[in-house]
Structure 1
Amino acid sequence: MRTNLFRGDGVARRAVMLAAWAWAIAPQRMARAQTSTRIKIAAASNLKFVLADLKSLFQQATGIQVDVNLGASGNLARQILQGLPVEQFISADEDRVAELFKAGRTLDAGQRYATGRLALIVPSNSALPLAQGLAAVVRSLKPGDKFAIANPALAPYGVAAEEALQRSGVGPLVARHKVLGDNVGQATQFVATGAAQAGITALALAMVPEMANKLQVLALTEKLHAPLHQRMVLLQGASPAAQAWQLFLASPQAQAVFIRHGYGLPQ
C-alpha cells in the first residue's frame, strides 16, 4: 500500500527552485563543507548509472566524494533503522522515506527528485514479440521460460511491474515463469545474462550503453502503473557536505542528468 504522507506535496517544485539558488552559491558553502570531503549515502539500485554521472559532476565542482551503497529500497531502509552509517537515503519510492521519518531518523520528510519509468526487456537475440507489448511477450513464453521482476516486497519497481502486468491484461505471473530479483538491478541482470527470457526493469537501467548489446528494450507507458515518485532524505547528523549534495540533486543541472537517463521530473 502506498502512503498518503506526501500527497499534495506542492513544495517539491519550490524546493527545486530553492536548490537552484543554493547551488549557485555553492562555492561559498563549500568552503565550510570541506571539513567533510567524503560522504556516504544509501541509494536504490535503479540509480546505479545516473548516480555515477552525478557523483562525477559533484566531485568536479566541490572536491567531495560520494560513496554509494546500492540496494533495494526496502532492504536499505531496514539497514538504516538498524544503524547503517549513511548521511542520505535516496529511495525509489516514498513509503520507505516515510518509515524513516516516522522513526525520527531523518532531518525532515525529504523531497521528490525524479519520477521512475518501467521498461520491458528481452535478451538481444530473443525472438519474443517485444514490439507487440507486454501482454504479447508474456503469452509467448514457453513452459520453461522465466520472466524477471524485482521482489515487490523489497522494491517499488517490483510493485510497479506487478501493476503493469495486471493492467495489461496478463494478470499475475504463473509460478513457473516468475523469477524475483533482490532488487531491480538483479532482475535486469537475469535477462541480460539469459537466465530469464524476459522481464520488467527500470528504464534507466535498460537504456545505458552497457546494455546496448545485451538487451532489446521497450519503454512501457506510465498508464500501466501508479506513478513511481522517488524521494530522497537527509538523515539525522548529515554534514554540510551531504546537505550540499542533496541541494545539487534538486538543481536544474542534476535534473537534466536524470532526464537523460530516462527519468521524468518530480511531480
Structure 2
Amino acid sequence: MNIWDQMRRGLRASLVLVVMGLLAPSAWAQPPAIAAAANIKFALDEIAAEFQQQTGQQVRISYGSSGNFVAQIRHGAPFELFLSADHKYLQQLSQDGVAITAPQLYASGKLALVTPKNSPISLDPELQGIKQALAQGQIKRFTIANPEHAPYGERAQEVLEHYGLWQPMESFLILGENASQAAQFAISGSTQAGIVALSLAKAPQFAAKANILELPESYHQPLTQYMSLLPNAGDTAKAFYQFILSDKAQTIFKHYGFAVPESGKP
C-alpha cells in the first residue's frame, strides 16, 4: 500500500469518527425523565403511548408522591417535567428558587371509597356503612395515602375529619407511601376499606377487584393538579407538556374520572 492509499484510509477513518461524534448526542440520548403523581399513572401511561405513536418520541416516567418528588428535585434530580397532584408543591419549588414555568392546570381529581370485592361493608356517600363497620369491629385496617406528602391522603383525611371519623380511625390507618400504594392496599385484602384516588380505582386491574363509590367533592379541598417544566427541559419534554393539554390527552384523563380544564385556562 502506498502512502496515498494510507492517507486516504486515514482520512476516511477520521471522517467516520467525526460523524459518529456528531450523531452521538442524539443517538445515545436518553428519553427525558418525567416526575408524575402516582394517581395519574394509568392515564399518563396511555397518554405517553399515544404521544410516542404520534411523534416517535419517548419519555421516561417515574411515579410517586408529589412531596417526595419536590425533595428529589431540590437535590438535583434530573427531571424535565413535573406533574404534581397539587398546586402547592410547585409553589414550594418556585419559592426555593427553582426556575419552573408558570404552573399549568392539567386535570382535577376525585376520591373514591373502596372495599375489596365480596366485602360485607356497605358503601354510601355519608360513610354510614363505614361507621357501622367500625363500631361492629369489621374494620381492623383502613388505608389512605400518607397525608404528609401525598395530596390525595390530605384530602382523604379532610373527608374523615368531616364525618368525625379521623380520631376513631387513626389507630386503624395503614398509610400508603403514595396514592397508588394506598389503592393496592384497599383492593388486595390488606385492609378492609380505604379512601383512594378515583382515577386508580377506575383502572381495569383495580376495578375488577373492588367495590367503588365516588365520593362527593363537597367535604374536601379541590384536587386540582398542575404541572411545570423544570429548568433543564428539552424539546421532547416541552412537546410532551403540550401534548398533555391536547384534546386526545384530555379525553384519556376524562376516561379515568378526571375533570379537565376548559381550553386555554391556566
As a proportion of its length, which structure holds more helix? 2
Q: Answer yes or no: is 1:65 the counterpart of 2:58.
A: yes
Mapped pair 1:154 → 2:149:
yes
Unaligned runs of 5+ in 2: 1-25
User: Which deviations, in whole Å up to 9, do the C-alpha atoms of 1:180-225 show, x marking residues without a partner?
Assistant: 1111111111111111100000000001111133110000011121
1:109 aligns with 2:102: yes
For residues 111 and 166 of structure 1, the distance between their equivalents in structure 2, rounded to whole angstroms, comes to: 30
TM, length-normalised to structure 2: 0.83
CA distance in 2, matches of 1:75, 1:110: 18
Alignment match of 1:255 (pick from 247, 250, 265): 250
State the SS of the aligned residue for 1:255.
helix
1:216 corresponding residue in structure 2: 211
Partner of 2:171: 176
> Greater CA radius of gyration, 1 or 2?
2
Return the alpha-carbon distance in structure 1 between the equivalents of residues 90 and 208 of structure 2: 36
Distance 2:259 2:37 in 1: 16
The unaligned stretches of length 5 or more in structure 1 are: 1-32
Distance (Å, rounded) in 2 between the aligned partners of 1:235 and 1:35: 22
TM-score, normalising length from structure 1? 0.83
Instruction: Give the equivalent residue in structure 2 for 1:44.
Output: 37
**SS at the partner of 1:130?**
coil
| 1:81-230 correspondence runs (5 A) | 81-131=74-124, 133-141=126-134, 142=137, 145-230=140-225
Alpha-carbon offset, residue 231 of structure 1: 0.4
Letter of the aligned partner of 2:74 in structure 1? L
Comparing 106-115 and 93-102, the one that deviates more: 106-115
For residues 36-84 of structure 1, the C-alpha deviation after alignment (integer angstroms, 9 at most, x for no partner) is 6722100010011001110011000111111111101000111111111
Judged with a 3 Å threshold, the aligned counterparts in structure 2 of structure 1 residues 178 and 58 are, in CA distance, closer, same or farther, namely: same
CA 1:147–1:106 in 2, change beyond 3 Å: closer, same or farther?
same
Corresponding position: 1:74 with 2:70: no
Query: Structure 1 residues 258 and 132 mapped into 2: Cα distance closer, same or farther (>3 Å)?
Result: closer
Return the alpha-carbon distance in structure 1 between the equivalents of residues 168 and 63 of structure 2: 27
- For the Cα contact (< 8 Å) 1:229–1:266, is it kept in 2? no
**Which among 222, 228, 232 is matched to residue 227 of structure 2?**
232
Q: Which string of whole-angstrom CA distances, capped at 9 and with x for unpartnered residues, describes residues 59-117 of structure 1?
A: 00111111111101000111111111110000000111111122232332221100010
The one-letter amino acid of 2:90's match is: V
* TM-align CA RMSD: 2.0
